[in-house]
Structure 1
Amino acid sequence: MSKDLINIVHALIKRVDELTAEVKTLRAENAALLDENKGLKLKVEEQKRIIDEQNRVIYGSKTERFIPLANAAGQVPILFALEEIGNIEVKGVTTVGEKQKPAPVKKMYVRPGRNPFPAHLERNTITQEPQMDLTGYVQIGQDVTERLDYQPSKLTVNRYVYPKYIQIDEQTRVRHIVQAESVQGPIEKGIPEAGLLAAIAVDKFLYHMPIDRQLKRFAYLGVELAAGTVNGWMDSIHVMLAPLMDALKTEVLSGPVLQADESHIRVLDSDKKGKTHRGWMWVYRHPQKRLVLFDYRRGRDKSGPIEMLEDYRGFLQVDGYTCYEDARVGGREDITLVHCHAHSRRYFEKALPYDPVRANHYMTEIQKVYHIEREIKEQQLNDKQIVEVRETRALPILKELKQWLIANASQVLPDSPIGKAIHYALSRWDKLLTYTHYTFIPIDNNGIESLIRSLALGRKNYLFAGSHHGAERIALMYSLMACCKEYSVDPYEYLKDVISRISTHKQKNIKELLPHHWSRADKSAIRQSPEHTAIKYA
């Protein structure tokens, strides 16, 4: 072989090696680009999920109602197959496991407006006589029709008149002048009565009507009040009712289980003109006594619950916020942390659009557990029966669900919505099962979340608290309003009575003025709040 040919062969071999190296480089670059593309796709999916989440919050329905997906045959699975549940006898009480013939449903049609109005409403009788000569006629009966009317709010003035009387001793000619002592108003040297103060407070803290709107209404009634004056009245109420917060705190923390949650509130920052501070309302609830305590803090750090729960011993039911796991809160030996199934379920509800099969399975199984809780409530089981039903029926469902979570955890992307949902549930699973062994622990803390909604409504109306002191005032009033709601106490009647007599009430008996202990000074019957006794009309 000639030298030239050998050189050509060596050149070709070298070129082949170069091309091979170039191919390897291109393949590596292509693999990197594929990985980058995959990562970008995940980021796009994540951004879409975030946008969907934001749209859901802004425009979506607030209901968490869940309808299971249909199976391959097009059938929607029922909550329970009765033959799979079996019968459980608990002190003579047979659970729904046994087949029973449903009672016939009686259809009843009620014409709109024919239900009687509540008896406590004032009646104005208007008699309509025939427009004719009734001589010789005898009344044989009457027909009565009632229609609901409304009179706008009105202001009245109470005039306190103090007559002076004199008596002259005929022998000594000494004059004795007597006069009744002046009646002290709720605010010293102030013009408002307890009824006006109660009305302003209820309109603001229950119906979320800002002070400036209320002032406009008063102006239409012919009385102009300054905003600073009315806010001063609210400050006076805060000072006046402050002892109730200490009494309420003692009772809220007295139970074997305590629920906790938190939500933000904007507060005007005095140090930064025109700026607002993001404060936090920590809410605590005694589920057995149905008592609620709002506690304002300037931040969401753990100092709030550490201070609040310093003397608490028992179970603490919360969401997944890591603050509660601190060694000085839920990490203490004398506090047992319990988690909430509603929060865990919510993660799967959010994952429904992205992994409907897995999310549907979890939510269907949890729906069975909630169905058991409804049965317990409807049948009014005793403590022993509640625990037995939970352990024999709910616990097996939850144990199987844990195995399903473990099996699926490795099959999904950790950062995907379903991956986050599975991780959230698995990492808290033992604490999610605690409720099954105790009768006094609820399955979730939805009871406290429904009460926090009042804070969200307030944010939409008055936007922010005027100061940190104002936020503390909101916490006090929200606490009392929530307790009134839980015990069906008319908040206006309650505040009017308590404001009028708290200054003379013995401090050692101050808890008697809390909504669940309260009775009027005149011992008259307490009318329930219209919100809880109102009759619905079509």
Structure 2
Amino acid sequence: MIVVRRPKYACRACDDVVVQAPAPGRLIEGGLPTDATVAQVLVSKYADHLPLYRQAQIYARQGINLDRSTLADWVGRAAWHLRPVHERLLAKLKASPKLFADETTAPVLDPGRGKTRTGQLWAYARDDRPWQGADPPGVAYVYAPDRKAERPITHLAGFTGILQVDGYGGYRVLADKSGATLAFCWAHVRRRFYELAAAGPAPIASEALRRIAELYRIEDDIRGRSAEQRRAVRQEKSLPIVADLVPWLREKLELISQKTKLAEAIRYTLSRRDGLSRFLDDGRIEIDSNTVERSIRPIALNRKNALFAGSDGGAEHWAVVASLIETCKLNGVEPLGYLADVLTRIVNGHPNSQIDDLLPWAYIQAPEFRAVA
């Protein structure tokens, strides 16, 4: 139980002068839930992937009658207050010289049809730890109702750095319009050849896998070194592998039917050779975009358990809260304590000019917010 004591003070020498400290702000004005209670609902939903109806069932077993609509209202209010922090997180990420980008489906209820329609959650991530970068890791999700190329163009307005992505064509449009430089993902190349080799004897696909595996072995050895050290090793060891792979693939492409899956895999690789080679000349670039794909997995888990968002607004709440929770996890910050503290500070008038103090990585040095491994 939390008890707030606000004594009243009066002056005997004055007439009708009584003063009392104002009550602290509450996220749910006039309601029973504390900010920590609302934070617990957020973490259960977006970090532990417990849909609101399951949380309502858990509370009911404890004798607490909370309707799912009540919990949804709490989530909406919290996400509305957290929106400026989410916007600032995305702005800080866009100021980075390098980002990862990916997108995944976000089913949204379409009330007029009684069905769901497919929205998209776009993920923009930063993780410079593999090359000893100084900026803290983070990820920001942004909801959009479709997968049009204009979405990442809008989300990343002002970004002119290196964007590491999969083969989705919309990113090429972004690069043409914004001046961003695209680096492509060897994991997506490898996946195409792996599917062929796993289905049965496939000498060309197996040989391509062997050569790609050599690149990954080199990456394992240099992970955690400085960007310049990584570049030097790649120039010495990885560059010859890639230089031999491209003409070898061209040669094999001439020998096989152009309608096969193998030909598709080879053409996919050759058409992206510039972006795939970019990591050789810049030690800050990873060999693949697995960093952002790992950030997509919690979204997929939540989608599997909750099935769909109730509305576009609900999907936007999903993006806001999930961004802060996943950035907490990347920085070793305990999300429950973080969200409870941030919500309390916001509803009590935290100045917008100091919003950087509310970003997850601002809590790294505070032992009370440190996540237990």
Classify the TM-score, shorter chain.
Answer: over 0.9
1:154-233 equivalence runs, <5 A = 157-164=1-8, 168-169=12-13, 174=15, 176-233=17-74
Report the equivalent of 1:474. Answer: 318
Alpha-carbon displacement from aligned partner over 1:96-152 (angstroms, at most 9, x marks no partner): xxxxxxxxxxxxxxxxxxxxxxxxxxxxxxxxxxxxxxxxxxxxxxxxxxxxxxxxx
Q: Which of 129, 132, 143 is the aligned partner of 1:296?
A: 143
Partners of 2:22 and 2:181 in 1: how far apart? Answer: 56
User: Percent identity, aligned pairs only?
Assistant: 34
Equivalent residues of 1:240, 1:499 under 8 A apart: yes
Report the equivalent of 1:275. Answer: 115
Report the equivalent of 2:91. Answer: 250
Partners of 1:271 and 1:209 in 2: how far apart? Answer: 27
Q: Which of 332, 335, 355 is the aligned partner of 1:510?
A: 355
TM-score by length of 2: 0.92
Per-residue deviation, 1:414: 2.5
Partners of 2:11 and 2:177 in 1: how far apart? Answer: 73
Is the aligned partner of 1:348 residue 2:185?
no
Per-residue deviation, 1:429: 1.2
Partners of 1:382 and 1:271 in 2: how far apart? Answer: 54
Partners of 2:333 and 2:361 in 1: how far apart? Answer: 8
Q: Which of 416, 419, 427 is the aligned partner of 2:263?
A: 419
Partners of 1:517 and 1:163 in 2: how far apart? Answer: 34
Q: Which of 334, 337, 362 is the aligned partner of 2:208?
A: 362
Q: Which of 101, 125, 142 is the aligned partner of 1:285?
A: 125
Partners of 1:524 and 1:391 in 2: how far apart? Answer: 41
Alpha-carbon displacement from aligned partner over 1:385-438 (angstroms, at most 9, x marks no partner): 221111111010111111210111122222322222111111111210011100
Alpha-carbon displacement from aligned partner over 1:63-86 (angstroms, at most 9, x marks no partner): xxxxxxxxxxxxxxxxxxxxxxxx
Equivalent residues of 1:263, 1:452 under 8 A apart: yes
Call closer, same or farther: CA 1:524–1:245 in 2, change over 3 Å. closer
Is the aligned partner of 1:314 residue 2:155?
no
Count the aligned residue pairs: 364
**Could you tell which deviates more after superposition, 214-223 or 430-439?**
214-223
User: Which residue identity lines up with residue 241 of structure 1 in the other structure?
Assistant: L
Per-residue deviation, 1:175: 5.7
Report the equivalent of 2:330. Answer: 486
1:66-215 equivalence runs, <5 A = 157-164=1-8, 168-169=12-13, 174=15, 176-215=17-56
Is the aligned partner of 1:374 residue 2:215?
no
User: Which residue identity lines up with residue 149 of structure 2 in the other structure?
Assistant: K
Report the equivalent of 2:75. Answer: 234
User: Quick one: higher RCO (CA 8 Å, sep 6+), 1 or 2?
Assistant: 2
Partners of 2:43 and 2:265 in 1: how far apart? Answer: 40
User: Which residue identity lines up with residue 525 of structure 1 in the other structure?
Assistant: P
Equivalent residues of 2:139, 2:323 under 8 A apart: yes
Report the equivalent of 2:132. Answer: none
Runs of 4+ in 1 over 3 A off after TM superposition: 159-169, 174-180
Equivalent residues of 1:331, 1:337 under 8 A apart: no
Gaps of 5+ in 1: 1-156, 534-538
Per-residue deviation, 1:178: 4.3
For the residue of structure 2 that corresponds to 1:371, the secondary structure is: helix
Q: Which of 274, 284, 298 is the aligned partner of 1:430?
A: 274
Report the equivalent of 1:49. Answer: none
User: Which residue identity lines up with residue 319 of structure 1 in the other structure?
Assistant: D
Report the equivalent of 1:451. Answer: 295
Per-residue deviation, 1:448: 0.4
Report the equivalent of 1:114. Answer: none
Equivalent residues of 1:283, 1:294 under 8 A apart: yes
Alpha-carbon displacement from aligned partner over 1:12-49 (angstroms, at most 9, x marks no partner): xxxxxxxxxxxxxxxxxxxxxxxxxxxxxxxxxxxxxx
Gaps of 5+ in 2: 129-135
Alpha-carbon displacement from aligned partner over 1:142-201 (angstroms, at most 9, x marks no partner): xxxxxxxxxxxxxxx3243444455544xx8x4654444323212322321111011000
Partners of 2:90 and 2:153 in 1: how far apart? Answer: 14
User: Is the radius of gyration larger for structure 1 or structure 2?
Assistant: 1
